């Protein structure tokens, strides 16, 4: 009985620790230049928003700046400091990129930071244009009539396209800036064009890829199908309208302009982070259009309605879903993904492949590495 009491005491203590909430104070003690500018913290706790007014540092004793992150659960958090954009992110005193700052939260914490330099203090080195000849820009201002906006659209055509008369499946991908060209990718490109040039030789599976640029400050709202439950990030989700644009305007245009296989089994969608969330939502709401999805590091944390919608999802058509997450992305990335994948796997007609890289972080390098596995599986 004594040992049973000790066991349950330990179990209760562990559970209490896991459920505990802590406060983390981030203090910027010195700033090398532009000390009067506003400073923000961007990390995996606010979807890496570089100018989130709720995460702006305030004046603190001794001429310092600080912010308190309240009610933080135990776990690992990563962040960087910015002056409101990723062009103005902190760097070394020599202008080099720094790794993400990391906090291991096991109790109340105070983190002191020195900003040695800002990226915009240093002349940018010209990035190379790396898009292959198979990549073209369809339009720099393609109309999104239901959102009253325009967007740059890219297309990758297989090497055989110009010399053949056959039709091809189509993969629609979000964050088009990051897919093909290092020059337009602020954190590195996926290398989709080079990857497909190689894979298509090996597998014989060819595909057209359409890249849709994100809308900068509209990215969060367009890739979010729900209104935010976190009122600090108060934004109305425009994901439904964004997908209506894809299915009702962009896809018909692509099908008319190029030799495509227009049917559901040959139409795919893919993206990462919020792009992974909206790709999953595209399957739920437009499963007659999309027969497969690449759901990379999905931001399922945004709204609990995701799980409810997954439970209610039903469609007689076969659908393939590729789920991927990195073990070092956030405390709940893998568990959130597995929760949704578990729900889908219980249903009929749906094939699910899930991949977890325990050492991978939330970045283009990880998604680039996993893209080939996704492509070979989705086109199998």
Count CB-CB contacts under 10 A for residue 107. 10
Same domain, 172 and 268: yes
- What does each of the 380 residues of the chain score in pLDDT, given as a tens digit? 444 444 434 444 444 444 679 999 999 999 999 999 999 999 988 889 999 999 999 999 888 999 999 998 898 899 999 999 999 999 999 888 898 999 999 999 999 999 999 999 987 777 899 999 999 999 999 999 999 999 999 999 999 999 999 999 999 999 999 999 999 998 899 999 999 999 988 899 999 999 999 999 899 899 999 876 554 444 578 999 999 999 999 999 999 999 999 999 999 999 999 999 999 999 999 999 999 999 999 999 888 889 999 999 998 899 999 999 999 998 899 999 999 999 999 998 899 999 999 999 999 999 999 999 999 999 99
326: left (phi over 0), alpha (psi -120 to 50) or beta: beta
Q: How many residues are listed for the chain in this entry?
A: 380
In a domain? residue 43: yes
Do 255 and 341 belong to one domain? yes
Give the pairing of strands 267-272 and 149-156: unpaired
Helices (H) and strands (E) in the chain, counts: 9, 17
Is 127 a domain residue? Answer: no
**In terms of domains, do 117 and 249 share one?**
no
Task: Please report, for the domain that includes residue 235, its CATH number.
Answer: 3.40.50.1820
Burial of 43: CB neighbours in 10 Å, binned 0-12, 13-18, 19+? buried
Domain around 45 = 2-121
Asked whether residue 128 is domain-assigned, the answer is no
Does residue 104 sit in the same domain as residue 199? no
| Residues with Cβ within 8 Å of residue 270, at least 6 apart in sequence | 171, 172, 173, 174, 279, 293, 294, 295, 296, 322, 374
Of 94, 121, 148, the last residue of a domain is: 121
Are residues 229 and 321 part of one domain? Answer: yes
Distance separating alpha carbons of residues 132 and 109, to the nearest angstrom: 48
150 plus 91 within the same structural domain = no
Distance CA 38, CA 218 (A): 22
């Amino acid at each position: 009985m004594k040992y049973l009491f000790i066991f349950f005491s330990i179990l209760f203590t562990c559970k209490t620790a896991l459920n505990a909430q802590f406060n983390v104070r981030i203090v910027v003690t010195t700033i090398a230049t532009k000390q009067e500018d506003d400073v923000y913290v961007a990390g995996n706790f606010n979807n890496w928003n570089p100018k989130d007014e709720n995460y702006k540092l305030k004046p603190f004793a001794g001429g310092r700046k600080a912010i308190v992150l309240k009610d933080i659960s135990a776990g690992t958090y990563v962040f960087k400091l910015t002056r409101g954009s990723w062009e103005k992110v902190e760097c070394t005193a020599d202008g080099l990129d720094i790794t993400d700052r990391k906090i291991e939260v096991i109790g109340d914490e105070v983190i002191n930071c020195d900003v040695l330099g800002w990226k915009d203090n240093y002349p940018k080195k010209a990035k190379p244009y790396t898009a292959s000849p198979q990549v073209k820009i369809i339009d720099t201002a393609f109309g999104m009539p239901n959102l009253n906006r325009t967007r740059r659209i890219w297309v990758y055509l297989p090497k055989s396209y110009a010399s053949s008369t056959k039709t091809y499946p189509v993969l629609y991908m979000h964050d088009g800036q990051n897919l093909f060209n290092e020059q337009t990718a602020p954190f590195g490109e996926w290398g989709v064009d080079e990857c497909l040039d190689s894979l298509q030789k090996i597998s014989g599976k060819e595909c057209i890829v359409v890249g849709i640029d994100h809308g900068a400050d509209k990215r969060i709202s367009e890739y979010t199908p729900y209104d935010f439950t976190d009122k600090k990030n108060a934004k109305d989700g425009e994901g439904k309208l964004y997908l209506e644009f894809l299915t009702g305007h962009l896809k018909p245009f692509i099908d008319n302009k190029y030799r495509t296989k227009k049917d559901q089994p040959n139409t795919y969608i893919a993206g990462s982070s919020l792009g992974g969330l909206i790709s999953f939502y595209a399957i739920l709401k437009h499963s007659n259009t999309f027969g497969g999805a690449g759901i990379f590091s999905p931001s399922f944390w945004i709204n609990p309605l995701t799980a409810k919608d997954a439970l209610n999802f039903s469609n007689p058509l076969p659908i393939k879903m590729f789920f991927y997450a990195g073990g070092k992305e956030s405390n709940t990335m893998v568990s959130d993904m597995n929760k949704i994948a578990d729900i889908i796997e219980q249903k009929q007609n749906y094939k699910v492949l899930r991949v977890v890289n325990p050492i991978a972080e939330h970045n283009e390098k990880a998604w680039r590495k996993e893209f080939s596995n996704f492509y070979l599986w989705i086109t199998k």
